[in-house]
Structure 1
């Protein structure tokens, strides 16, 4: 499993990550900032998630396509 964290305070809501990898990232309806897709969220925290290795390439592409460095993947 890979851990993904989004710094939502730094998120600019541009939509690049969810446009590139909608399997992992999506917009939050309340503030239009990025969040982790609900089924991958850890303890209901929309900024923290765990995804299977099979989504690694997609998750990395989404993070790398973001214009600010707010998504970390471990």
Structure 2
């Protein structure tokens, strides 16, 4: 299971040029939860299922992969 930090999620969303609302819709997670996740630099204090749903939504684009705890890599 790939879990990312709040900083990684912010970077991934910025790369995709998604709004927080678009990420919320793609992941099925509430907008307030997305904002809480993105406030954290490390692992955010949210339910694991919500964080996994957000990570999965980003990974499903095929343009994002998470590598370690500090890096967002753009898949070719």
- Give the TM interval when normalised to the shorter protein: 0.3 to 0.5
Structure whose residues are more often helix by fraction: 2
TM-score w.r.t. length of structure 1:
0.41
- Which structure has the highest strand share of the two? 1
TM-score if structure 2 supplies the norm length?
0.40
